[in-house]
Amino acid sequence: MNLWRLTLWGFLLLLVRPVLADRQELAESSFQAGVAAYRGGDFSAAARAFENSAGARAAAGTYQNLGNAEWQAGRVGPAILAWERALWLAPAITEARENLQLARDTAQLAAPELTWYEVISTWLPSGWWAIITALSLWLVADLLVLPGIFRRRRAGWQQALAALGLTLLLLTLPAHAGWHTRSNIGFVMEGNLPLRLTPTEQAQEITRVGAGEPGRCERRYGNYCFVRFRNTAGWLTREEFKLISGR
Amino acid sequence: MVKPSITGPTPATPLADAPRSGWVASRCFFRRSPAILTLAGLLVSTVDPLPAQNFDKMSGDQLMSLMRSAPQLATDQAVAPAATFDPPVISVGAKAVYRVTLHALDEAITRWPDNTPVAAGLGLTRGAQGMLFTMGAGKMQPVTVVNFHVAAPTAGVFVVPSYVIEIYGQPITIPEARLQVLAADPGLAPLRELVLDPARTNVYVGEPVRLRVLSPAGENRSVQMLSQVQLNGDGFITGKADVRQQIAPVRLPSGETRTAFIYDTSLTPFAQGSLNISAQGFTSGNQFGGQIIIQGGAVIPAGPPEFALLEAAPVTLNVMPLPSAGRLPGFMGAIGSFTRDTPQLSALTVQAGDPVKLSVTIRSRASLSHLAMPPAPDTPAWQGFAVGSPTLGGNTATFTYTLIPQTDQTAATPDIPFSYFDPEQGAYVDLSIPAVPIQVLPAAVTAATNELTRGAAEPAPAKKRSLSGLAPTLGTTAGSLVPLQERGWFCLVEVGPVLLLLALWLESRRRQFWEQHPDLYRRREARRALRRERHTLQQAAQAGDARAFAASAVQALQIASAPHFPAEPRALVCGDVLQLLPEAERTRAPGSVIRQLFRATEAQDFSANSPEFTHLLALQSPLNQLLAELEARL
């Protein structure tokens, strides 16, 4: 029975692996095509290529280059979203951060206002926080449970390590809350978009918002998002307002 | 094109004996006894204007009392329509005006016939329309006047019959009016008209130009004051703050010099091209508001004013765009002819970090109300702030800047670029505020501040900000932008260790249970071994292998009996197994089966002769029954 299951998993892995390899290859080739188009001055084509690459495999470098291409093509909203996504995947990329600052200074746009736990969440990529939390959780659980199971006395170092793991676990919880709330942050894609009072096409217009304006999607209704901006709130479609997390 | 609302300004003027703190309606008129005022070159200032009311600082009660003190609007008065020709008698080809006067608000006229009924041969063209308020019985009474221009090509008496209009939704009948047209002019009085007299007709966009509306004296030198003067047209704004009123001899476009009431204002075009401007105003007899200068001899009529709406023929201004070539730094839109006084500093010696004020006065013959200050200098050595807006005084405007030296390594204030466009020359003229020598002493500052000021005095090369280059590789990758902790598979993976720990814990509990109950453990193990052995026994019986059958049967009996002692199954002998049977059964069939099986196997193990086993296969059925009974006791 066990052997049969192992065989099944191995077979599935063999099936999936070529698909993963194909996606990686597509991401690489589109990335190189984008770089070539960018250097050739065709920024719209470069943006399309980088978008294809990011669709095949989300990568910080791809998003950084996508932001550059969109900015050069004059599309402020998509450029800011791409750079934010680059920082989302790799917060240590200084180039994307500087580009964002430059774009916001130029377009007179504000950065999203982050709470303290959201700021903490920007220190490391989301995967790192998840792994740290998981490891610390199981370290604590193992150190507390396994000695009992195996009828060993808990040593002092085991208890100290468990305390350390528990501290680490508790410290990562605000970061997870930050990641969760930050995943609702998004940006307006085009300039002069009407902010709707209701989630309908013929809705009354509250005001107009500019490209690159940051906001938070508080709830969804069909293809519409209720977005809260710094001074106003209203409904935008998901094409008009895109989230960093891509959801 | 923006259509400006142009209304002749009538500065608020209180009654001479009115308390200064009180509010007086803006239309306060002086009533003078009829007299000839001959005041050569004398400036007559009737009263000082009220200081501007600061409505923002008023409380609700003050505003309410202000509203209550305002005269009420008389809306219940009789409309009293009147229609007249001005003048009533003209010669052929002369101009006249058909004037309808109504005591009602102009917006109260809800219907007017599209074609005013008119006598055959008489042409009527719609002219100006205006409204003013007169004071009567403590109320403000609206008076609306509508003008029609009349052309009479033939002599005769022309009658405009009565017709009906609607005011406040009520029908009002306009009475008939008669105009007599003579074939020859016996010296009739001409039509009273205003004259529009711009100082220049070729102007630049944004250039203020003076413009006078003249109300010339009649044949008897009687000068009618004007009120509600209004300039009509598009593409310009008028200056309401710099209106001047005067009675003085003027040279009319016809070349004749005559005393006239002069309404002098400024006009600033903001659209290039040809601008058509016309004017209208009400005659107000001897009533006027604001200050007035009277020069020369004039007769001011006595009695109640007539309030006739007069018009001026339109004039055309040619508005040119400002040249883009030759524009100088510091051009803030100033157009005209300006001069600058020497800039003045509030102190000639100042410590670094302390403020000093720089003032400079700009002079011009034209109005400076629209003059904008050049921006304050901001250099590494000087930080500057413009102090409010220019201080206006007559034909001067004073710019004031607060300057703060950032270092003592400077000996003069910075230049402040400023320029204007001279329409006479058609070129931009530099009027920059020059540097003023000043002694800057070192400030008593900390080392850190000194470091900062040194840094300011020696500016670091400006870091040019530009977009970063492209990332050479994909960099950090991820399967999705969704955070790892929010993906389903990650949550499932997290369940694995939970299950593992749970399994380990359950195993530990199970082990502890067996340790605490060894008897149960032995019986359970015996049941398992017995099942296996019975299976072997069954196979041996089916194969007809009597020897194997006997060996398995003995082992099964030993396994089923062992937990009751407890003992190792192989250590048990036939007697041990028989002990487990009831006393009665030991000598009967079950005991016999056990003995036969043990005897056969012992003989095989210990006898030299090979025993016979075949008959043992017949014991399968009682053996199974016996084993079932023993298993039930486990």
Q: What is the pLDDT of residues B425-456, one digit of tens each?
A: 888 999 899 888 888 888 765 555 555 555 55
Residue A219 confidence (pLDDT) = 92
Q: Which of B470, B479, B483 sits opposite A65 (nearest CB)?
A: B470
Residue A229 confidence (pLDDT) = 93
B468 touches chain A (CB under 8 A): yes
If DSSP codes are grouped into helix, strand and coil, which group holds residue A187? strand
**Sign of the torsion formed by the C-alpha atoms of A135, A140, A141 and A147:** positive
As a whole number of Å, the CA-based R_g of chain B is 59
Residue B453 confidence (pLDDT) = 52
B628 touches chain A (CB under 8 A): no
CA dist B336 and B370 (Å) reads 11
CA dist B393 and B408 (Å) reads 35
Q: Is the pLDDT of residue B175 over 80?
A: yes
Q: Is the pLDDT of residue B190 over 90?
A: no
Give the pairing of strands B195-198 and B109-111.
Answer: unpaired
Give the per-residue SS3 of B89-120: EEECCCEEEEEEEECCCHHHEEECCCCCCCCC
**B496: nearest CA in chain A?**
A138
Residue B186 confidence (pLDDT) = 77
Whether residue B239 contacts residue B219, with contact meaning beta carbons closer than 8 Å, is answered with no
B480 contacts on A by Cβ (under 8 Å)? 58, 246
Q: Which of A103-112, B35-44, B94-103, B591-600 has the lowest mean pLDDT?
A: B35-44
Give the per-residue SS3 of B185-232: CCCCCCCCCEEEEECCCEEECCCCEEEEEEEECCCCCECCCEEEEEEE
Alpha-carbon separation of residue B454 from A242, B376, B380, B405, B409 (angstroms): 47, 22, 10, 12, 9
Name residue, tokens 């030993």: B558
Instruction: Give me the CATH topology for the region B339-414+434-445+451-457.
Output: Immunoglobulin-like (2.60.40)
Could you name the CATH architecture of A2-107?
Answer: Alpha Horseshoe (1.25)
Alpha-carbon separation of residue B610 from B547, B602, B604, B607 (angstroms): 11, 11, 6, 7
**Residue B459, min C-alpha distance to chain A (Å):** 22
Which residues have a Cβ under 8 Å from the Cβ of B358 and sit 6 or more positions away? B343, B344, B345, B346, B400, B401, B402, B403, B413, B433, B436
Q: What percent of chain A has pLDDT over 90?
A: 62
Q: Which of A29-38, B180-189, B556-565 has the lowest mean pLDDT?
A: B180-189
User: Residue B123 — very low, low, confident or very high, per pLDDT cuts 50/70/90?
Assistant: confident
CA dist B101 and B269 (Å) reads 33
Q: Which of A11-20, A233-242, B349-358 has the lowest mean pLDDT?
A: A11-20
**Residue A118, min C-alpha distance to chain B (Å):** 14
User: Residue B34 — very low, low, confident or very high, per pLDDT cuts 50/70/90?
Assistant: very low
Q: Is the pLDDT of residue B8 over 50?
A: no
- Mean pLDDT for B464-476 is 84
Alpha-carbon separation of residue B310 from A243, B148, B286, B524 (angstroms): 67, 11, 16, 127
Domains in chain B: boundaries = 1-51+65-321, 339-414+434-445+451-457, 518-632
- Rounded to an integer, what is the distance from CA B298 to the centroid of its chain? 55
- Among the residues of chain A, which ranges form H helices? 2-39, 43-56, 60-72, 76-89, 94-107, 116-121, 126-149, 156-182
B444 touches chain A (CB under 8 A): no
Residue B384 confidence (pLDDT) = 84
Whether residue A221 contacts residue A200, with contact meaning beta carbons closer than 8 Å, is answered with no
**Residue B497, min C-alpha distance to chain A (Å):** 8
CA dist B552 and B554 (Å) reads 5
Residue A79 confidence (pLDDT) = 95
CA dist A38 and B226 (Å) reads 72
Residue B280 confidence (pLDDT) = 92
Tokens found for residue B485: 């902790």
If DSSP codes are grouped into helix, strand and coil, which group holds residue A59? strand
**A181: nearest CA in chain B?**
B483
Best-predicted range by mean pLDDT among B139-143, B183-187, B365-369?
A: B139-143
What angle, rounded to 10 degrees, do the helices at B620-632 and B589-606 form?
A: 110
Q: Is the pLDDT of residue B3 over 50?
A: no
Cis peptide before B483 (omega within 30 of 0): no
**Residue A203, min C-alpha distance to chain B (Å):** 31
A43 touches chain B (CB under 8 A): no
Q: What percent of chain B has pLDDT over 70?
A: 87
If DSSP codes are grouped into helix, strand and coil, which group holds residue B277? strand
Q: Which of B467, B478, B504 sits opposite A58 (nearest CB)?
A: B478
- Mean pLDDT for B6-33 is 33
Q: Which of B472, B482, B507 sits opposite A245 (nearest CB)?
A: B482
Walk across the sheet containing B236-251 and list its strands. Answer: B195-198, B209-216, B257-269, B236-251, B293-294
Residue B27 confidence (pLDDT) = 34
Whether residue B575 contacts residue B558, with contact meaning beta carbons closer than 8 Å, is answered with no
Residue B450 confidence (pLDDT) = 54
Indicate yes or no: CB of B467 within 8 angstroms of CB of A68. Answer: yes
Helix (H) or strand (E) holding B298: strand B297-299
Domains in chain A: boundaries = 2-107, 117-182, 185-243
The pLDDT mean for chain B works out to 80
Length, in residues, of chain A:
247
B520 touches chain A (CB under 8 A): no
Q: What percent of chain B has pLDDT over 90?
A: 16
Name residue, tokens 């989302």: A88
Give the pairing of strands B236-251 and B123-136.
Answer: unpaired
- Better-predicted residue by pLDDT, B184 or B601: B601
- Better-predicted residue by pLDDT, B486 or B527: B527
Q: Which of A76, A126, A180, A181 to mutate to test the interface with B (most CBs of B within 10 A)?
A: A126
B486 contacts on A by Cβ (under 8 Å)? 179-180, 183
A59 touches chain B (CB under 8 A): yes
Which residues have a Cβ under 8 Å from the Cβ of A18 and sit 6 or more positions away? none
Q: Which of A9, A23, A31 to mutate to test the interface with B (most CBs of B within 10 A)?
A: A31
Residue B136 confidence (pLDDT) = 76
Whether residue B594 contacts residue B557, with contact meaning beta carbons closer than 8 Å, is answered with yes
User: Based on the number of CB atoms within 10 Å of its own CB, is B43 exposed (0-12), middle (13-18) or buried (19 or more)?
Assistant: exposed
Residue A90 confidence (pLDDT) = 92
Note the pLDDT tens digit of each residue in B404-414.
888 888 888 88
**Residue B516, min C-alpha distance to chain A (Å):** 15
Residue B451 confidence (pLDDT) = 57
B486 touches chain A (CB under 8 A): yes
Q: Which of A21-35, B268-282, B310-324, B381-395 has the lowest mean pLDDT?
A: B381-395
**Main-chain phi, psi angles of B374, to 5 degrees:** -70, 155
Q: Is the pLDDT of residue A21 over 50?
A: yes
**Residue A209, min C-alpha distance to chain B (Å):** 25
Q: A94-107 burial by CB neighbour count: b if 16+ within 10 A, else e?
A: ebbbebbebbbeeb
A29 touches chain B (CB under 8 A): no
Residue B16 confidence (pLDDT) = 33
Name residue, tokens 């405007």: B397
Indicate yes or no: CB of A89 within 8 angstroms of CB of B507. Answer: no
Best-predicted range by mean pLDDT among B236-240, B272-276, B394-398?
A: B272-276
- Mean pLDDT for A138-160 is 87
Which residues have a Cβ under 8 Å from the Cβ of B582 and sit 6 or more positions away? none
CA dist B264 and B195 (Å) reads 12
Indicate yes or no: CB of B505 within 8 angstroms of CB of A145. Answer: yes
B496 touches chain A (CB under 8 A): no
CA dist B145 and B165 (Å) reads 14
**Residue B591, min C-alpha distance to chain A (Å):** 45
How many contacts (CB atoms, under 8 Å) link A and B? 120
Instruction: Give me the CATH topology for the region A185-243.
Output: SH3 type barrels. (2.30.30)
A26 touches chain B (CB under 8 A): no
Indicate yes or no: CB of B471 within 8 angstroms of CB of A95. Answer: yes
- Better-predicted residue by pLDDT, B222 or A38: A38
**B480: nearest CA in chain A?**
A58
Note the pLDDT tens digit of each residue in B36-57.
333 333 333 333 334 444 555 5
Query: A2-10 — which CB contacts under 8 Å span 24+ positions?
Result: none
Name residue, tokens 């000093």: B356
User: Residue B76 — very low, low, confident or very high, per pLDDT cuts 50/70/90?
Assistant: confident
Give the pairing of strands B163-167 and B170-174.
Answer: antiparallel
The pLDDT mean for chain A works out to 89
Indicate yes or no: CB of B476 within 8 angstroms of CB of A90. Answer: yes
Tokens found for residue B32: 């003078």
B494 contacts on A by Cβ (under 8 Å)? 134
- Residue B263 is classified by DSSP as E
Residue B38 confidence (pLDDT) = 33
Q: Which of B480, B486, B507 sits opposite A58 (nearest CB)?
A: B480
